[in-house]
A and B are shown apart, each in its own frame.
Chain A
Amino acid sequence: MTTLSSKTAAPRSVSGWRSAQSKRILLTLLGWTVALVIFFPIFWMILTGFKTESAAIADPTLIFSPTLESYQAVQERSGYARFALNSVAVAFGSTFLALLLAIPAAYAMAFLPTKRTKGTLLWMLSTKMLPSVGVLVPIYLIFRDTGLLDTRTGLIIIYTLMNLPIVVWMLYTFFKDMPKDILEAGRMDGASTLQEVFFLLLPLTLPGIASTGLLSVILSWNEAFWSLNLTTSNAAPLTAYIASFSSPEGLFWAKLSAASTMAIAPILILGWMTQKQMVRGLTFGAVK
C-alpha cells in the first residue's frame, strides 16, 4: 500500500510542480502586463517630450528623430527651479507636520483604544469623501483673512489636513500590528511613554512610518486642485508649472509633456530608490 501510494504520489508531485510553475509564469506575465499598462502613459509622455510639436500630434509612432527643443522652450519660459523648490518644501513640510500630529494620535488609538476609537477613525476618513471644491470658498476666505493665500505655509497646512486621515489610518494599522508585549516589557523596565515611543515603537515600525511618509509626499507632490486655487506665483508648485503649458490656441503637447516629465522626474526617482522600503512598509504586518 505504501509503495503504491508513493508510486502514485510521485507523478502527482511532478504535475503539481508543473502546474505551480505554469501558475507562477502566468502570474508573472499578468504582473508585467498590468505594470506595462500602468506605466504606458508615463512612457508615452516621456517620449512625446522629445518630439516636435507637429510630430506630437501626428499619427502615433515609436520611430522619430528626438529633439530637445521642447525642453529648451520650457526652460526658457519659466523658472523650473522656483516651482520645484516650492514642491519640495510643501511636500516634505506637510509630510513632516502630518507625521508629527499623526504619530501620537495613532499611538493613542492603537494602544489606548476607547469604544469611540473606531468611529473616530471612520469619521476622519469620511472627511476625504467630501469633494474639495465644496469647501473652496470658505477655505479661500479663511486664507484671505489670515494672509495665507499664495504662501508655502498655507499650502503646507492644507496638505497636512488633506493627508492627515490617511496618515493616521496607516500608522494606526502599523502600530496595532506591533506586539504589545514589547511595549509592556519596556514599561516594566521603567520606560516613560515618550521613551516607549522613541526607543521602541518608532524603531520597530520605521518601515511602516517611512512608507506612510513616502505616500504622503507623493500625494502632496501630485496634488493640483488646492495648489492651483490657493497660489499665484510665490508658492506655486510644479502642478501649477505644468498647468501653465496647456494652451487654448496653438500646439502644446510636446512642451506640456516635457514640462510634465520634468515635474514628475524627482518623485519618480525617489519612488524608484525607495521602492523596496515602500513595499516592505505597505506589506508590514500583512503576514503574521
Chain B
Amino acid sequence: MRLARHLPVTTLAAAIAMSGHAQAQTEITVATVNNNDMVIMQSLTEAFEEAHPDITLDWVVLEENVLRQRMTTDIATGGGQFDVMTIGTYEVPIWAERGWLSPLDSLPDAYNEDDLLTSVRDGLSLDGTLHALPFYAESSMMYYRQDLFEKAGIEMSDQPTWEEVREWAGELHGSEEGLAGICLRGKPGWGENMAFVSTLVNTYGGRWFDEEWNPELNSEEWVSAIQFYVDLLNDYGPPGASSNGFNENLALFSRGNCAMWVDATSAAGKLYDGNESDVADSLGFAPAPVAETPKGSHWLWSWALAIPASSENQEAAREFITWATSQEYIELVGETQGWTSVPPGTRESTYANEQYTEAAPFADFVLKAIQDADPTDSTLEPNPYVGVQFVGIPEFQSIGTQVGQTIAAALTGDTTVEQALESAQRATERTMQRAGYLD
C-alpha cells in the first residue's frame, strides 16, 4: 500500500531526474582539420567527456580548404551548424570584426591567459579581446642534414643568409643519389607557395602593398626575390618542385632527399621522430635565412578554436575550447602521447617544462621564431596590413592564390619572372579596385 501510494511520486521524480539529465546533456559539434595534433585531440575525447559528463563531442573533420568554405557559408548565413570552429590567424580578426565570433573575455583564472605567447595572443585578438584560443602555433625555420654539412665541411651560421644557402645548395646538390640541394614550397596557393614566397619577399625588402594599398608586385624587390627563388629551385631543387607543398617536402626531407628545407616549425616533431623520419639522427635546425632585412623572414600562424556567434551552446563550447587549449591539456598529451606530440607554440609554460625541452631540442628555436615574428611590422618599408605571410584582408585569399599560380608558372618556365609579376600586379590592381581600396 505504502509503495503503491508513493509509486506515482517516485515515478514522477525519476522522470524529472531523467528529463533533467537529458536536458543537461549538451552535444557540441566541433569542426576541425585533419592533422596530427587534431587527430590527437579527437582521440582524447573520452578524457574531456569524463571530466565534463554533461557535454558530448561530435567531430566534423574536413580538408582545410573544404572546411574553410563550409565554415564560411555557415557562419555568414548564421546556420548554427557548428559550436566550435578551427580557424587560423588569417580569419580570426576578419570574422571577429564582422561579429561572427563570440568574444572570449572574462576567461576563468585557471585558464591562465597571461601564459599565452604574446605574438600568438595578439594575432587572435580584436581590439585587445581574444576571439579564438590558440591550439597550436608555428613559425618557419630551416631544417638541414648535419651529416651532409659535416661531410662537405660546411658550418651552419647562427643566422644563415639566402646567399649562403644558395652556395651550400650548389655544393650539396647531387652529392648523393637523388639528393636535392634545397626543398621549398612550389605548389600554388595562398597558404602554400605564397606563405613561403611572402617571407622571402619580406626579407628582400619588398611588401605586398604600400601605405595607400597600391600593389607593389612588380617592384625591384619582388623581382629579385622571385628570380632568386626560381633560379634556386630550378638549379638545386627536387624534380617537379612546382607541385610540392608542405606534405610533399616533408616526405622528401624525411626520406633524406633534401639537404635543406625551409618550412613550418610544426614539422620539427615529425622529423625528429625516428619512426616517421629517416633523418632523425642527423637533423639540424637553424633560423629561417635572411637577405636585406630580418623583418618578416619567418611567418607566424596558429590554428585556433573559436565559437561562432550563431552557436546555441556557447557555454559548453567555451568549456571545451578552454580545456583543449589549456596547460592541463598540453600535459595530458605529453603524458599519454609523448612530449614531442604536444601542440607547440602557444604557452610559455610549455617551454618551461623540462620534460618537453628535453624531448624536443628544437623547442628554443621554435619559441624564439614565434616570439620574434611580428605581424604588425613585417616589412622593411611600412605597410597598412597585419600579417607576415598573408595580408589580413578578405580579398587576400583570391589575390594570394592567383599570384601563387603566376609564380608557379614562372617556376616551371611557362613565363618569365618579369612577365609573371607584371600579370600578378595587374590582376591584384583590378581586385583592389573592385574591392574599393583603389580609385
Contact = CB atoms under 8 A, between A and B. Distances in A.
A77 interface: yes
Contact of B59 (A137, A140, A233): A233
A72 interface: no
Given A136-B73, A228-B70, A249-B246, A244 B61 contact: yes
A245 interface: yes
B90 interface: no
Interface in A130-186: 136-137, 140-141, 144, 149-150
Given A229-B73, A245-B34, A150 B64 contact: no
A236 B81 CA distance: 13
Interface string B79-91: 1111000000000
A26 B35 CA distance: 49
Interface stretch (B247-255, B396-404, B422-430): B247-255
A250 B81 CA distance: 28
A140 B77 contact: yes
B256 to A, nearest CB: 12
B79 A149 contact: yes
A247 B34 contact: yes
A207 to B, nearest CB: 38
Contact of A244 (B62, B73, B77, B247): B62
Contacts of A232: 29, 31, 58, 60, 81-82
Contacts of B61: 78, 244
Nearest to A150: B81
Interface majority SS on A: helix, strand, loop or mixed? loop
A284 interface: no
Contacts of A229: 69-70, 73
Given A57-B248, A137-B73, A149-B81, A250 B60 contact: no
Q: Size range of the interface on A?
A: 20 to 34
Contacts of A252: 34, 247
Contacts of A248: 33-35, 63-64, 191, 246-247
Which of B29, B64, B70, B255 counts the most A-chain CB atoms under 10 A from its CB?
B70
A155 B188 CA distance: 34
Nearest to B62: A243
Contacts of B255: 54, 58
Nearest to A73: B39
B247 A228 contact: no
Interface in A93-136: 136
Contact of B251 (A57, A140, A240, A246): A57
Contact of A250 (B70, B80, B250): B250
Contacts of A140: 73-74, 77, 79
B233 to A, nearest CB: 19
Interface string A211-249: 000000000000000001100110010001001111111
B64 A233 contact: no
A228 B68 CA distance: 12
Interface string B230-270: 00000000000000001110110011000000001011001
Interface in B298-353: none
Interface in A60-79: 77-78
B78 interface: yes
Contacts of A191: none
Interface in A242-266: 243-252
B107 interface: no
Interface in B98-123: none
A136 B79 CA distance: 13
Q: Which 4 A-B pairs have the closest CB atoms?
A: A244-B61, A246-B63, A249-B35, A248-B64
